Amino acid sequence: MYRKIITICILALTFSLSNGQSLANVSDKNLKPNCRCLPSEPCWPDQQQWDTLAKSLKGKLIKPRLPLSVCEKNSDSKECKLVLQNIKNPFYMQSDSGRNESQGWYGAWHNQSSSYAVEAEDTQDIVKAANFARKHNLRLVIKGAGHDYLGRSSSPDALLIWTHNMRDIEYNKHFHPQNCPKNKEYSAVTVGAGTRWLEAYNVVTNHHHQYVQGGGCTTVGAAGGFPQGGGFGSWSKQYGTGAGGIIQAEVVTADGKVVIANECQNQVLFWAIKGGGGGTYGVVTNLTLRTHKLPSHFGLISGEITTDSDKAYKKLIKEFLLFYSSKLNNEHWGEQFAFRPNDKMTIAMVTQGLAEKEALDIWQPFKKWLESQPDLHYKLKYIDIPPTQIWNYDFWHKNYPDMVIKNIGPDARDGEFWWASNTAEVSAYWYTYQSWYLPEKLFDSKNIDKTVDTFYKVSQLAPVSIQINKGLAGASKEAIELTKQTSMHPGVYDAGALAIMSYSNDKPEFDKPKMTQEIEQKVDNIYKAMNMIMALAPDAGTYANEADYFQKNWQQVFWGSNYSKLLKIKNKYDPNGLFYCHHCVGSEYWQQDGMCRK
């Protein structure tokens, strides 16, 4: 039998040589291995090779560890108590290479430490890490703030590039992109790969009285997956997306080269980075983002509306959706409202460019209607926010202390805070997280009754949040034009909002949370509910940064008609797949753990 196999192999080799294929070409193909190297295999770098890398990095090669690992050894230790005191503090969770914002997703992933992490402080540290991973055929992972829901900020048996310490920020009123004509000049801010939005806002808004389109959560990264995956902010209907605001990027590509991408050079790479997903085409070491004149006013309107019957609730849903469509679907408004079980609606919406009286006048007809309905009960309040104070902890603590939490963890910096409403997400373990774009047409007179009926049925199964800033229908001309220069799903221009439904365990545990019958029912309800929403607009697609881990047909759902072009760019800049992440462009050619090709 063995002789027969050898004979077949010799015949195959003879045939290939007779057709002009040299032995060199045969071995060239073998240079593209099917699987990455594991620590248990001879190809894994030996200790001397790791030590050489560490020396070249001046000691910035570390071994990550999970946050609760110190408690497994001794639950009474000072280290364990420190972790438990701060495990719901997002700043603390970002200050170690082994910690992430989310701890896992049931049936999908669980936070595991990478074998080694490069604690990058500059571009050359990243070049060395990428070259080492490519040379030794290692799984490579990129982590900045670690906010990713889909487990893309860590992987076992891998080398992690951790950009947390790359947080230089420079504001430039007259930024000129490299190799662009002299008339290409922007008011801009350049942020290092590890910069958090609060840090960028402190420079741009608190000190220079400008606005930069970033995220609402203060600890999300300003140069990572947020802008590279699209990046919606509270006022995206006015200023566009984070991706649309990118003017220039410095990128370390898979071959270890450092390139500058902008509208005048490396244009296809630039386009891919602007919405085509983070951690895919290279490691972004810094981004330069467009800034805008600060608006005259910011404001917040929040509260809840309850009803006495299902009939009254349906009536409320219809009236509010019509009100939203006619008065709020424009550049002045953002954030969300939610339809919940027990015939309850909540509102947490923000405004820009409107004085308090102007904003309240817009809501007056709806409030008048509410007051005419004896079976509806509401509480709404308005907060006027001075534009220069919106990212100032002292302002919020003095006036609305329940809305913010100050960072008092180890190494805390003055003024660091997060919104109290974001605390549940810190160290959360997800059971599901789903989203879908809601085309503007769903709210017109032709479709409104079907839409109302759907959202009523959905709300009886689970809460659904309608986030109006995550859709650009009704947006300003500038927002549309900037986003059309990105690789985001084209469905975003028709979307009046993004529907989001999720369920998680927000209490950190030593072991993976279990799936109880009660939790399973809640997850099933969310899938049923989201299927109803998707049926309203089957081809609408969704926002890749906030989507289901198990999303089917994700290429089309996340990027629509842009996917084929993105895949060509991926293959051009990373032909061997050094950069892999779950449901990122090109990941369909790899197994789910990113270790072996399919």
Residue with tokens 């590890």: 194
Q: Are 407 and 89 in contact (CB under 8 A)?
A: yes
The crossing angle, in degrees rounded to 10, of helices 2-18 and 23-30 is 110
The confidence band for 26, taking pLDDT boundaries of 50, 70 and 90, is: very low
Averaged pLDDT of the chain = 94
Which residues are CB-contacts of 194 (< 8 A; sequence separation ≥ 6)?
144, 145, 163, 164, 165, 166, 167, 221, 223
Picking from 196, 185, 204, 205, the residue whose alpha carbon sits closest to that of residue 248 is 185
Task: Encode pLDDT of 262-321 as tens digits.
Answer: 999 999 999 999 999 999 999 999 999 999 999 999 999 999 999 999 999 999 999 999
Rounded to whole angstroms, the Cα distance separating 369 from 6 reads: 85
| Whole-number Å distance between alpha carbons of 305 and 302 | 10
- Specify the residue for token string 């400008």: 210
Q: How many CA atoms lie within 13 A of 254 on its CB side?
A: 21
DSSP state, residue 330:
S
What is the SS3 assignment for 597?
A: strand
- pTM over the 0.75 mark: yes
Structure letter (DSSP) for residue 413: P
User: Residue 32 has what pLDDT?
Assistant: 63
Regarding beta strands 404-406 and 417-419, do their DSSP bridges make them parallel or antiparallel, or are they unpaired? Answer: antiparallel
- Mean pLDDT to the nearest integer, 138-147: 98
Between the two ends of the chain, the Cα-to-Cα distance in Å is 29
| Integer Cα distance of 333 and 298 in angstroms | 10
Q: What is the pLDDT of residue 509?
A: 72
Express each pLDDT in 194-248 by its tens digit.
999 999 999 999 999 999 999 999 999 999 999 999 999 999 999 999 999 999 9
pLDDT at residue 4, rounded to an integer: 37
Taking residue 63's Cβ as centre, other Cβ atoms within 10 Å add up to: 12
Residues 217, 422: contact at Cβ < 8 Å?
A: yes
d(CA 149, CA 551): 13
What is the DSSP code (8-state) at residue 153? Answer: T
Q: What is the pLDDT of residue 20?
A: 38
Which positions ≥6 away from 477 have C-beta within 8 Å?
none
The span from the CA of 133 to the CA of 160, in Å, is: 10
State the Cα–Cα distance between residues 17 and 74, nearest whole angstrom.
Answer: 64
- 569 DSSP assignment: H
- Residue 512 is predicted with a pLDDT of 74
- HSE of 342 in the Cβ direction (CA atoms, 13 Å)? 4
**Of 285, 240, 238, 288, whose CA–CA distance to 263 is shortest?**
288
Q: Which one-letter DSSP state was computed for residue 141?
A: E
Token readout for 536 is 């309203």
What domains are there in the chain, each with its CATH number?
Answer: 1-31 (no CATH), 297-388 (3.30.70.600)
Chain centroid to CA 489: how far?
15
- Report helix, strand or coil for 120: coil
Give DSSP secondary structure letters for 289-344: EEEEEPPS-EEEEEEEEEESSHHHHHHHHHHHHHHIIIIISSTTEEEEEEEETTTE
CA distances, 222 to each of 169, 237, 248, 276, 291 (Å): 11, 19, 13, 16, 13
14, pLDDT greater than 70:
no
Q: What is the pLDDT of residue 176?
A: 98
CA atoms within 13 A on the CB side of 405: 19
Return d(Cα 475, Cα 237) in angstroms, integer. Answer: 4
Structure tokens at 129: 């890490």
Does the structure show a pLDDT above 90 at 508? no
Q: How confident is the model at residue 507 (pLDDT cuts 50, 70, 90)?
A: confident
> Which tokens is 541 given?
């697609």
Phi, psi of 409 (to 5 degrees): -75, 180
pLDDT band (50, 70, 90) for residue 5: very low
Enter the tokens of residue 359.
């904003």
